[in-house]
Amino acid sequence: MLARINNFEVDLSKPIDISIPLTNTDANPIAWYLSKPEIKPVVFGYWTGSVKAGASTNFNTIVFNPHAHGTHTECVGHITKDFYSINQCLKQFFFVAELISVEPEIQGEDLVISLENIATALDVTLKLGEPKEALIIRTLPNPEHKKHQNYSNTNPPYLSEEAAIFIRESGIQHLLIDLPSVDKEQDDGKLLAHKAFWNVKDVNNLNTDARRNATITEMIYVSDEVPDGNYLLNLQIASFENDASPSKPILYKYD
């Protein structure tokens, strides 16, 4: 099925799903010191919401945290005193995107995605004058066990403040990354990359030029089989009135 979007011809029959599914097994990725999600039938007295247990339907309750349990998309409300909802901040769902692969640099005891990493990867695109609305970052190395990683207490790689500023100033509205956070796991609450990308100067009194419609998507996984380059991004979320929602980003190659 072919569609023409913004003068691009897109084959909608060939989606590339870069989300990680949420399960109640040890295969589920975890961050922020939580245990795995719960997915279990509702129990009312002698009745259990499971066809296997004799019910007419399966009737499960799911307990999870979007930030800790898989692919999720968050808005500026993630770091502000006032409430902002991803369901209200994200109102468009198709974006021209660039996928880049970067190898974080060793800085002391940390692995950091630097300004140089991002600038080098985006250099050709920027020179060609092809602004993108979304940037997808695949970190290297890229083993499949990222999809099942327990990131708690592992000090995973993160994005430097300078890199986040560069991404913002390049006009990127939607940032996607295959890590549990764009910031360092333990940073004393500084959240420098989050604040830089959203242009937040005061979390208690949001500045007028903060980027309320920009989003960050974390804990994606992009297979090595998907080459760097240009894509159409369909960023799908559940309609939660919350700072973040589980999400399903889909890529489409275009000509």
Mean pLDDT, to the nearest integer, of 94-118?
96
37 falls within a domain: no
Within 10 angstroms of residue 108's Cβ, the number of other Cβ atoms is 6
106 falls within a domain: yes
Q: How far apart are the C-alpha atoms of 137 and 75, rounded to whole Å?
A: 18
How does pLDDT run across 202-253, given as a tens digit for each residue? 999 999 999 999 999 999 999 999 999 999 999 999 999 999 999 999 999 9
SS (H, E, C) the chain: CEEEECCEEEECCCCEECCCCCCCCCCCCECCCCCCCEEEECEECCEECCHHHCCCCCCEEEECCCCCCCCEEECHHHCCCCCCCHHHHCCCCEEEEEEEEECCEEECCEEEECHHHHHHHHHHHHHCCCCCCEEEEEECCCCHHHHHCECCCCCCCEECHHHHHHHHHCCCCEEEECCCCCCCCCCCCCCHHHHHHHCCCCCCCCCCCCCCCCEEEECCCCCCCCCCEEEEEEEEECCCCCCEEEEEEEEEEEC
Write down the pLDDT at residue 2: 64
39 falls within a domain: no
**pTM, entire model:** 0.95
Q: Above 80 in pLDDT, residue 126?
A: no
Q: Residue 232 belongs to what domain range?
A: 2-20+66-253
Q: Above 60 in pLDDT, residue 125?
A: no
How would you classify the pairing of strands 229-237 and 244-253? Answer: antiparallel
Q: How far apart are the C-alpha atoms of 214 and 134, rounded to whole Å?
A: 10
**Domain containing residue 185: CATH number:** 3.50.30.50
- Residue 27's contacts (CB-CB under 8 Å, 6 or more residues apart) are 147, 148
Q: How far apart are the C-alpha atoms of 90 and 104, rounded to whole Å?
A: 29
- Classify residue 109 as exposed, middle or buried by CB count within 10 Å of its CB (0-12, 13-18, 19+): exposed
Q: Above 80 in pLDDT, residue 159?
A: yes
Q: Above 80 in pLDDT, residue 130?
A: no
13 falls within a domain: yes
- Which amino acid does the sequence have at 122? L
Contact 247, 14 (CB under 8 A): no
Place of tokens 């800085």: 107
How does pLDDT run across 17-45, given as a tens digit for each residue? 999 999 999 999 999 999 999 999 999 99
pLDDT tier, 122 (very low <50, low <70, confident <90, very high otherwise): confident
158 falls within a domain: yes
90 falls within a domain: yes
pLDDT tier, 5 (very low <50, low <70, confident <90, very high otherwise): low
Number of independent structural domains in the chain: 1
| Among 135, 134, 125, 138, CA closest to 95 | 134
Rg (CA), the chain: 19
Higher pLDDT, 45 or 1: 45
Write down the pLDDT at residue 8: 73
Q: Above 60 in pLDDT, residue 129?
A: no
96 falls within a domain: yes
Contact 30, 69 (CB under 8 A): yes
29 falls within a domain: no
Write down the pLDDT at residue 212: 97
177 — phi, psi (to 5°)? Answer: -145, 150
